[in-house]
Amino acid sequence: MDTPGFSALDFNHLLNEEIKAGFKEFNNFECPYQDCLHINEKECLIKKEVQLGNILPSRYQTYKNLILKKGN
């Protein structure tokens, strides 16, 4: 595949970054994965912090809905 320009994948990645940028509290925790979506990743720190109560579950739920709804 050598489609020049803006691929659907890039666009998707950009959307993810934008959604993540809206959840600044996630940045207080350093996820071991670069580029982590904090959804299905096994060792995701964000998911752990939600369980520990350091991130509001409702916020995480909203985040998850946004990521999943745009059809990852």
Residues that bind Zn ion (CB under 5 A): 31, 36, 38, 44, 46
Shortest distance (Å) from residue 35 CB to Zn ion:
9
Nearer to Zn ion, 36 or 55 (CB): 36
Nearest residue to Zn ion by CB is 36
> 35-71 b/e with 16+ CB inside 10 Å = b?
ebbbeeeeebbbbebbeeeebeeeebeebbebbeeee
Nearer to Zn ion, 7 or 68 (CB): 68
